[in-house]
Copies of this chain bind each other. A is one copy, B any other.
């Protein structure tokens, strides 16, 4: 099985490494814009050759910024490969694939490995990145069933737990548990950074602040694209969270200590329950 990875970064590079470790691929071609990054991927044994396109690969993983999809997918419209991707939003990816691939959309399996870090590039790739992590596939009605099964099997070979849902459902779930928290973390750090006494504020910030804002060290360009692509759902999430803040504000204004403690206790219990069930 010959794999082409378009965008050999943290995700694409880790996919290649994991499939090599599982002996599920015989040759990996790396395609991308960053020559130095591709050279590093070659040195690290992540890829076996560098090319300007996917060539005669059997499977293509597109793990590049979503903004580049129209061009990348157009270059794949006449290949016979199964194509999958790792984009963090799925409705926009499906729309781009429909436009670029036409009938060949049957060969396209939209996917999203829910794994990542603030780190990026082939230097950060690891064969174990997807172990016990979730991967969501969002096939459309035209998608070939065998193609979905093949992609699912490969992600499982990487150690991932694979789910299927619609692109719309995916974008709603991720808006709540990923996109909104990222926006809030970026927002809080920006608020602190813009204060006159920001230096003093940061100097008294401790472990709680560090963990709360870890995701504010994420890639600005990538998160710009995610937020814009999912903006309708994200705006609804922001409104829902603003209502929650208003609720908290009212409890504080009324000095309603009992209700405040109840809300905190319910949140703690829900979180602890989640950690227990996910470990």
Chain B: which residue is nearest A242 at the CB level?
A: B245
Within 8 A of B (CB), among A71-117: 114-117
Residues of the B chain whose Cβ atoms lie less than 8 Å from the Cβ of A168: none
A265 near B220 (CB under 8 angstroms)? Answer: yes
Within 8 A of B (CB), among A228-261: 228, 231, 234-235, 238, 240-242, 244-245, 247-249, 252-253, 255, 257, 260-261
A216 near B271 (CB under 8 angstroms)? Answer: yes
Given contacts A180-B188, A181-B209, 15 further A-B contacts (CB under 8 A): A115-B206, A173-B201, A174-B204, A177-B192, A184-B184, A187-B245, A188-B244, A190-B263, A190-B270, A208-B215, A227-B252, A228-B252, A235-B253, A238-B248, A238-B252
A244 near B187 (CB under 8 angstroms)? Answer: yes
- A210 on the interface (CB 8 Å rule)? yes
In the bound complex, CA of A274 to CA of B214 (Å): 12
Which of under 10, 10 to 19, 20 to 34, or 35 or more describes the interface residues of A? 35 or more
In the bound complex, CA of A63 to CA of B75 (Å): 66
Main secondary structure of the interface of A (DSSP, over half): helix
**How many copies of the shown chain assemble into the complex?**
2
A274 near B208 (CB under 8 angstroms)? Answer: no
B255 near A231 (CB under 8 angstroms)? Answer: yes
In the bound complex, CA of A252 to CA of B229 (Å): 10
- A40 on the interface (CB 8 Å rule)? no
- Name the distance in Å between A252's Cβ and chain B's nearest Cβ: 5
Within 8 A of B (CB), among A187-233: 187-193, 195, 197-198, 200-218, 220-221, 223-225, 227-228, 231
In the bound complex, CA of A272 to CA of B163 (Å): 35
- A24 on the interface (CB 8 Å rule)? no
In the bound complex, CA of A244 to CA of B279 (Å): 35
Residues of the B chain whose Cβ atoms lie less than 8 Å from the Cβ of A242: 242, 245
Within 8 A of B (CB), among A112-150: 114-117, 133-134, 136
Measuring CB to CB, which residues of chain A are less than 8 angstroms from any residue of chain B? 114-117, 133-134, 136, 163, 173-174, 176-178, 180-193, 195, 197-198, 200-218, 220-221, 223-225, 227-228, 231, 234-235, 238, 240-242, 244-245, 247-249, 252-253, 255, 257, 260-268, 270-272, 274-275, 277-278
Residues of the B chain whose Cβ atoms lie less than 8 Å from the Cβ of A220: 261-262, 264-265, 268
Q: Pick the most buried of A176, A197, A210: most chain B CB atoms within 10 A of its CB.
A: A176
Could you pull out 21 A-B pairs where Cβ atoms are within 8 angstroms?
Answer: A115-B206, A116-B208, A163-B204, A173-B200, A173-B204, A184-B188, A184-B245, A187-B245, A188-B241, A190-B267, A191-B244, A205-B274, A208-B218, A211-B215, A216-B271, A220-B262, A224-B260, A227-B252, A228-B257, A228-B260, A241-B245
